[in-house]
Chain A
Amino acid sequence: MKTTIALVAFALLVPLTASAQGARINLSFLDRLGERASEKQEIAIGPEMLKTAGSALVSPGRNTEAAKQLLSELEGVYVRSYEFDDPKAYSMDDINAIRKQLSAPGWMRIVANEERDKGGDWELQEVWLYNPGGKLGGIFIINSEPGELQVINVVGPIDLAKLGALGGILGIPGSVAAGLVR
């Protein structure tokens, strides 16, 4: 009987775990870039830490409850932001090590912008949504410019209709939040 209950619990929990794991991108490929960076921010906030700090971050005001709920449902926020003295400190291969993971089922690219000039400089901006089964489970953002790289992975169910609530509350400009909701 105990074995049956354990198996049922396991079967119920596995899809949740798999879903959260699916939206989580391994950013450790960027560790060596961090060593070369002149300025860097490496932030990894897991679900427990989000529960501790998330709601306290929202100051009272319009859309407070929606913002609190959005933060309480998040399962992780992982950010890498690097600035380099050398504009060619990293290559597209470094980025592709991360982007390969986005070929997994469930990921969908909604924004893509790539520019190359004759001097060999390039820029890349991409926004990906993890949307298995029609339910948004994560966001991945890359902004790559000469001498600069930002990679952001937000894990967890995100209600796009509520994302607009973050506009102006958490320092996210209203226009950007509204733009995402569109």
Chain B
Amino acid sequence: MNMDHELRDALRRKQAPADLADRVLARINEQQAPARQTGPTPSRLRQDYGGQSVRRWLAAAAVLAVAAGGAERYYTQQQAAEAARVQQELRIALQITSETLTVVQNKLSQPAEDGGR
């Protein structure tokens, strides 16, 4: 039984090489080392997150500053327009007052008309 003989020979217990454990550990270290180099450390993660947070706050502050500036400019323009409108109305009001007083003064100063009135 040649085949039986070969099978028995293949399954026979053999002594492992003496440096097998060292070689396996070295192989494992080789595979893990590049992964460690590319992945962020916890402190690096904290730094990155902190940086992003500051940038977000700065962006928010910039948006708020622009919005506040725009609102203030709009308010100032509205105030100026309102002041101009009031000035125009006051000028007309005083003009009408002046003209009315002139009419009253003329009525009082003119001699009384005879007949009719």
B91-104 vs A: 1/0 string, CB under 8 Å? 11111111111111
5 contacts between A and B (CB under 8 A): A79-B96, A79-B97, A115-B117, A170-B98, A172-B98
Given A52-B83, A53-B86: A113 and B93 within 8 A (CB)? Answer: no
Note all chain A residues with C-beta closer than 8 A to B94.
77, 166, 170-172
B102-114 vs A: 1/0 string, CB under 8 Å? 1111011000000
B104 x A77 contact (CB < 8 A): no
Binds B, one of A6-14, A17-25, A94-102, A116-124: A116-124
- CB < 8 Å neighbour of A56 from B83, B92, B105: B83
Tell me, rounded to whole Å, the shortest Cβ–Cβ distance linking B105 to chain A: 6
B101 x A52 contact (CB < 8 A): no
B residues with CB within 8 A of A: 82-83, 86-87, 89-105, 107-108, 116-117
User: Is there a chain B Cβ closer than 8 Å to A64's Cβ?
Assistant: no
B105 x A179 contact (CB < 8 A): yes
A residues with CB within 8 A of B: 41, 43, 45, 49-50, 52-54, 56-57, 77, 79, 81, 111, 113, 115-118, 123, 125, 127, 141, 143, 150, 152, 154, 166, 170-173, 175-176, 179-180
Note all chain A residues with C-beta closer than 8 A to B117.
115-117
B103 x A143 contact (CB < 8 A): yes
A53 x B96 contact (CB < 8 A): no
Given A53-B86, A56-B83, A57-B87: A172 and B101 within 8 A (CB)? Answer: yes
- CB < 8 Å neighbour of B97 from A141, A175, A179: A141
A43 x B107 contact (CB < 8 A): no
Q: Which residue of B lies closest to A152 (CB)?
A: B97
- CB < 8 Å neighbour of A49 from B86, B95, B96, B103: B86
B108 x A41 contact (CB < 8 A): no
Cα A118 to Cα B117 in complex, Å, equals 7
Cα A117 to Cα B94 in complex, Å, equals 31
